[in-house]
Amino acid sequence: MTVYFIGAGPGDPELMPLKGLRILKSCPVVLYAGSLIPREVLQEVEHSAERIIDTATINLDEMQQLFKQAHKEGKDVARLQCGDPSLYGAIGEQIRRLEQLGIDYQIIPGVSAVAASAAYLGKELTLSGVSQTIIFTRYEGKTPFPERERLPQLAQSGATLAIHLGVTYMKKIVAELIPHYGSDCPVAVCYRTSWPDQDKVTGTLADISQKVADKGFKLTALILVGRVLDTAAFDDSHLYSQDKPNIFRKRKGVIDNLTELESRTQADTTNG
């Protein structure tokens, strides 16, 4: 018996990895958080799974009992997690309980909210010469927070920020970031990315708080901060530069080689 922590993605059923879907369809017991995962994600197993349990209202001890019962019955469990299980999925404490019980588990990664939101915005989050670093964090709340990881400390890097679980603290976040990023720094807030009712708002640190308030975003929103969100001034990556050859591409580009080959072919034809 195995418990599979499956990354269900940000909401769109088609963004669940194929491996995750395959394993989901094979498990008789399915656990999912209905507050974070739309029921549509379960459409492939609605009539085949023996038990589908919404865990939104249960605590960790009750979750452990579900694992123990499935283990006793010898039935695999699909534990669906929103986004990617290893990012703010609270699977660490579940894994600790499983290890104490001697129950096998596997983690199937999924599409994170950051990746889905970047796609929704039509942006690359790592632009050459602008930002090559993305910091995934959350705003300080009930969860204990290391001093060195509080937002003002992270902001000193000037890196692109992906702030989870912080939209209700928007004004505090803005106040802590402006000294490091400037009031004109671009910001995007993506709400329920890839869900049918997805929404977003863009602006700067100077006006984003009011825009978020006008939208009424309260939960399930990701805050992205950084110059990469609104700039045309960035360097071309060396990835495709003919002046930066690598083991796969010699200094002369493919187009140059094709042009040279075409010229030789035409010359041979003319001479022939």
Q: Hey, is 120 helix, strand or coil?
A: helix
pLDDT above 60: residue 53: yes
pLDDT above 70: residue 272: no
**pLDDT tens, position by position, 59-94:** 999 999 999 999 999 999 999 999 999 998 899 999
Quickly state the pLDDT bin for 161 (edges 50, 70, 90).
very high
Length of the chain in terms of residues written? 272
Q: What's the pLDDT at 203?
A: 96
pLDDT above 80: residue 182: yes
Counting Cα atoms < 13 Å in the Cβ hemisphere of 117 gives 27
Q: Which domains, ranges and CATH numbers included, belong to the chain?
A: 2-111 (3.40.1010.10), 114-229 (3.30.950.10)
Percent of the chain with pLDDT over 90: 72
CB atoms closer than 10 angstroms to residue 165: 19
Distances 210 to 170, 202, 206, 226 between C-alpha atoms, Å: 9, 11, 9, 18
Where on the phi/psi map is residue 42: left (φ > 0), alpha (ψ -120 to 50), or beta? Answer: alpha
Report residue 94 as tokens: 């579940």
Single out the residue of 79, 61, 63 nearest to residue 8, CA to CA. 79
Instruction: Give the type of residue at 189.
Output: V
Q: What's the pLDDT at 143?
A: 72
pLDDT above 70: residue 236: no
pLDDT above 90: residue 234: no
- DSSP states along 155-196: HTT--EEEEES-GGGHHHHHHHHHHHH-TT-EEEEEESTTST
Report residue 70 as tokens: 């499935």
pLDDT above 80: residue 261: no
Mean pLDDT in residue range 146-153: 88
User: For the ranges 126-130, 144-148, 239-243, which has the lowest average pLDDT?
Assistant: 239-243
**pLDDT tens, position by position, 25-51:** 999 999 999 889 999 999 999 999 999
Q: What's the pLDDT at 23?
A: 97
Report residue 29 as tokens: 């017991």
Q: What's the pLDDT at 218?
A: 87
Mean pLDDT in residue range 189-216: 95
Quickly state the pLDDT bin for 238 (edges 50, 70, 90).
low
Mean pLDDT in residue range 108-134: 93
